[in-house]
Structure formats: structure tokens, C-alpha cells
Amino acid sequence: AQSVTQLDSQVPVFEEAPVELRCNYSSSVSVYLFWYVQYPNQGLQLLLKYLSGSTLVKGINGFEAEFNKSQTSFHLRKPSVHISDTAEYFCAVSGAAGGTSYGKLTFGQGTILTVHP
């Protein structure tokens, strides 16, 4: 079984400040990791994913995340946020290819990022 914990339910930040949204996961098998963004009344949009290789992954809209296997973390960062980044962010995990949980996403409870002018 897998689980995802997003450590902050809400993160307020001022425009142009850096931000980090924290995510820890638990799994007994190899995993793929994802960050999605959800704007109000919309579906989820994939920001970035880690499958293998370099532990630092870059995504859309200037976001990046670092996979840390020893700490079972996958924190999302952006060096300078904009008002338009205000949204809810979800961390998710899937078992890696070949496993029974492959393709079945398990989501964290979400972090609401609010960017203030």
C-alpha cells in the first residue's frame, strides 16, 4: 500500500517570494511521483513527474521538485511566485511499472497556495 502526506494544508506567500510545498510518501515498492495543480472548478493539470534518473525534475510554469529517496520526499519549489500560481496543489504517487499498483494514483490531501500582492 502507498500513502502520501502533504505537510501543509495552506501556504500563504507574497508575490515574487520563493515557495516550497512539502510532500512525503510511503511505499514498499518503487514509485513514480507527480505534482498536479487544480485551479478552482477545474480538473487537475500535471506540473511535473519523476520516473527515474535525475532526482531534480523541472516542470511547467517554473516549478521544480526534488526526489529524495532516503527521506521519502518529493518537495515542490518555485523561486518566485506569481498571483496566477494561486491554486491547490496535489502530490501523488503510483507504483512503478510491473507492480500491482502501477497506474493507480494515490493523492495527498492537497496544499492550497495563496499568493498575495
Partner 1 sequence: NAGVMQNPRHLVRRRGQEARLRCSPMKGHSHVYWYRQLPEEGLKFMVYLQKENIIDESGMPKERFSAEFPKEGPSILRIQQVVRGDSAAYFCASSPEVERRYEQYFGPGTRLTVT
Instruction: Work out whether 70 is an interface residue with partner 1 (CB under 8 A).
Output: no
* Shortest Å distance, C-beta 55 to partner 1: 17
Give me the helices (H) in the chain, please.
none
Residue 10 CB burial class (10 angstroms; 0-12, 13-18, ≥19): exposed
Q: Which is nearer to partner 1, 74 or 90 (CB)?
A: 90
Eight-state DSSP code of residue 96: P
Please count the CA atoms within 13 angstroms of the CA of 100 that sit on its side-chain side: 4
Q: Copy the grid coordinates of residue 88.
A: 491547490
Instruction: Work out whether 46 is an interface residue with partner 1 (CB under 8 A).
Output: yes
Pattern of binders to partner 1 over 49-68, x per CB under 8 A? x-x-----------------
Q: List 42's β-bridge partners, or say none.
A: none
Q: Which is nearer to partner 1, 73 or 94 (CB)?
A: 94
Where do contacts with partner 1 occur on this chain (CB under 8 A)?
4, 32, 34, 36, 41-46, 49, 51, 90, 92, 94, 97, 102-110
